[in-house]
Copies of this chain bind each other. A is one copy, B any other.
Amino acid sequence: MEAERTLGAEELTELGELAAQLRVDAIRCSTKAGSGHPTSSLSAADLLAVLISRHLRYQWTDPHCRANDHLIFSKGHASPLLYAVFKAAGAITDQELIETYRQFGSRLQGHPTPVLPWVDVATGSLGQGLPVGVGIALAGRHLDHLPFHVWALCGDSEMAEGSIWEALDKAGHYGLRNLTAIVDINRFGQRGPTELEWDLDTYRRRVEAFGCQALVVDGHDLVAIDEAFGRARQATGPTVVLARTVKGKGVPEVENQPGWHGKPLKPELAERAVAALGGVRQIRVATPRPEPVPAAAAPTGEPPTMPRYDKGAMVATRNAYGDALRALGSRPDVVALDGEVSDSTRADKFAEAYPDRFFEMFISEQQLVAAAVGLQVRGYRPFAATFAAFLSRAYDFIRMAGISQADIALSGSHSGVEIGADGPSQMGLEDLAALRAVQGSTVLYPSDAVSCAALVAQMVDRKGVNYLRTTRGKYPVLYDNEDAFPVGGSKLLRGGDDDDITLIGAGVTVHNCLAAADELAREGIKARVIDLYSVKPLDRDRLLDAVRATGGRLLVVEDHYPEGGLGSAVLESLADIPEPVRVTHLAVRGLPSSGTPTQLMEQAGIGVRAIVAAARAAEAPGR
């Protein structure tokens, strides 16, 4: 590869011309749009010119080619540069770039999303592109065994995000020599200087301490950049190119000045700048093609033998998650990750059976979710698990996974006050609200091992962000192994033609509802019981039946705070029906403490006694 490091005069001229075109186009499209981040694009134009001309191995006409390198703009606000790259590559036209950038209906949005075939994941929430790149590189190095390289362009501001350091740490830990972060150190953030400005040495020491090789360059020296990228590709571990750059480089009026973040150049200034940069060009770059690689092997593997459980046996749904996941491991595209609690989430069952497809992310939940998103970019079906409470640590990553339309499965164990003595810090009590509000998400909360396993089996091929909520304790198996549990469905566990009230639960509260129904029956109150295991989408037809059958009397019980969870899902679903509905909503209304599961559920008013009392009150004459 020695040849790659020698840049002739002609090549340098060509690269300079390309860099000028990228600058010109970034200025033109943002000025036309009247918004965007040209100065953040100008600082990285030389880096990208060298990258796409000489190091990125990519077939622009076949963005899903499995041999392709991956290019991620972790600094998603530099979209004018990214889209200028797409034009230079011939992927989009000059007209599309200039006329549609940031316009309504355009695929060239303010920040990149996978609506564009050359974009793997949505970026724009800083500190996420690199962690996702770690997931892609994990796939390349430990699963695909292909020589593609992952290049992530980062801003210097985002180096203040802890998630960047989770990513570099994992890159080092997993020896991701196929990953290069390119940090565009232009020393200005949005409202002023960055924390470290041009203190390249501190960046270098941090990067090295986190297990990566630092390559410090002048980000406007084409030869130095070229050499650094060449070294990065040949390195024996993950690399970070620390590029000292000038924000607004190429436009003297805005170069290296504060107050220019996220501001397009006014048309007159833009015109002058474009002229000074040599005017509009239509250079078409010849990005190196990837080496041919073998086609993906046809999916092999036995059809999974899903676990079976005896009705009445005491099994925790988190165990069923582990059993089902291990069974699904017969599919070679299924991978699992955990946040150093796999003996609790029971992802350890998969880890023991398929150690090569299990990735320990230690206590870094942001990287846990980001790695899952990266793995699905490469076609894997990742299942990522931690405590339900700690998925809140990765909420921004889950939100962005929704915008990326990523297909991932998340499992949150230890939900609700049911966990008992560990106390509120360990209790997922807001996860249903948070996960329901993710674009395109599915939210599942099974009550027993059979339904849990059946739902896990469906998550593996389901689109979007799929969330499974599991329970710590053991509860009786309620269903037959042959029963079906479609996503969007529900189960009627008790019910006849003359029910007085409908009890609706999910997860652990289904068991409380059943016990309450038994007690109510002894008092002559007939309670219908619904297991609403699919919280999103919801079985509206089942609820409508119940409304009609029990005179609109519903009682919803959930081990979750009252806002946004199961009760809200039921209410949202029935919001506009003509029939009168009265919903009694039992949820965790105070701040819980320690205790036994039963004590805490009773205290929270979601236990058997509370359900019986509330049902009785709802049934009382004159209510």
Footprint of B on A, CB under 8 Å? Answer: 33, 35-36, 76, 102-106, 108-111, 113, 115, 122-127, 157-158, 160-166, 169, 173, 189-191, 194-195, 202, 205-206, 208-211, 340-344, 348, 362-367, 389-390, 392-393, 395-396, 399-400, 402-403, 405, 420-426, 429-430, 433-434, 436-440, 536, 560-565, 567-569, 571-572, 575-580, 582-585, 591, 593-596, 599-600, 603, 623
What chain B residues lie within 8 Å of A195 (beta carbons)? 169, 173, 362
What chain B residues lie within 8 Å of A366 (beta carbons)? 162
B403 touches A160 (CB 8 A): no
A399 touches B403 (CB 8 A): no
Known: A110-B423, A430-B434. 16 other contacts (CB 8 A): A35-B422, A106-B594, A111-B424, A111-B425, A124-B425, A157-B362, A157-B363, A161-B364, A389-B396, A392-B396, A433-B564, A439-B561, A563-B572, A571-B571, A571-B572, A578-B582
B124 touches A364 (CB 8 A): no
A190 touches B425 (CB 8 A): no
| Minimum CB–CB distance for A598 against chain B, Å | 9
- Take A161-B166, A162-B364 as given contacts and tell me if A424 and B113 are in contact as well, using a CB distance cutoff of 8 Å: yes
What chain B residues lie within 8 Å of A583 (beta carbons)? 575-576
A440 and B402 CA atoms in complex are apart in Å by 28
A-B pairs with the 9 shortest C-beta distances?
A: A162-B162, A124-B425, A564-B564, A104-B595, A430-B437, A433-B437, A571-B571, A395-B395, A580-B580
How many copies of the chain does the oligomer comprise? 2
Contact of A562 among B211, B561, B572 (CB under 8 A): B572
| Minimum CB–CB distance for A63 against chain B, Å | 20
- Take A343-B190, A439-B429 as given contacts and tell me if A405 and B591 are in contact as well, using a CB distance cutoff of 8 Å: yes
A363 touches B158 (CB 8 A): yes
Contact of A189 among B102, B169, B340, B403 (CB under 8 A): B340
What chain B residues lie within 8 Å of A403 (beta carbons)? 424-425, 591
A585 touches B572 (CB 8 A): yes
Using CB atoms, name the residue of chain B closest to A107.
Answer: B593
| Minimum CB–CB distance for A617 against chain B, Å | 10
| Minimum CB–CB distance for A515 against chain B, Å | 20
A162 and B341 CA atoms in complex are apart in Å by 17
| Minimum CB–CB distance for A621 against chain B, Å | 13
Question: 8 A-B contacts, Cβ less than 8 Å apart?
Answer: A104-B599, A110-B421, A126-B363, A161-B393, A173-B195, A403-B425, A439-B561, A578-B623
A136 and B105 CA atoms in complex are apart in Å by 48
B157 touches A110 (CB 8 A): no
The residue among A105, A367, A396, A402 with the most chain B CB atoms within 10 A of its own CB is A396
A365 and B340 CA atoms in complex are apart in Å by 24
Contact of A362 among B160, B440, B577 (CB under 8 A): B160
- Take A162-B163, A195-B173 as given contacts and tell me if A109 and B423 are in contact as well, using a CB distance cutoff of 8 Å: yes
Contact of A105 among B342, B429, B577, B593 (CB under 8 A): B593
- Take A423-B111, A434-B434, A564-B437 as given contacts and tell me if A164 and B162 are in contact as well, using a CB distance cutoff of 8 Å: yes
Using CB atoms, name the residue of chain B closest to A204.
Answer: B209
Using CB atoms, name the residue of chain B closest to A595.
Answer: B104
What chain B residues lie within 8 Å of A344 (beta carbons)? 190-191
The residue among A109, A122, A424 with the most chain B CB atoms within 10 A of its own CB is A424
B440 touches A341 (CB 8 A): no
A33 and B493 CA atoms in complex are apart in Å by 36
Contact of A536 among B36, B343, B563 (CB under 8 A): B563
B430 touches A399 (CB 8 A): yes
A395 and B344 CA atoms in complex are apart in Å by 22
Using CB atoms, name the residue of chain B closest to A589.
Answer: B439
A363 touches B160 (CB 8 A): yes
A561 and B572 CA atoms in complex are apart in Å by 12
| Minimum CB–CB distance for A400 against chain B, Å | 6
A364 and B124 CA atoms in complex are apart in Å by 14
B434 touches A395 (CB 8 A): yes
Contact of A363 among B33, B161, B166, B433 (CB under 8 A): B161
A429 and B110 CA atoms in complex are apart in Å by 17
A194 touches B362 (CB 8 A): yes
Contact of A395 among B393, B422, B591 (CB under 8 A): B393
A565 and B569 CA atoms in complex are apart in Å by 11
A157 and B207 CA atoms in complex are apart in Å by 20
What chain B residues lie within 8 Å of A105 (beta carbons)? 593, 595
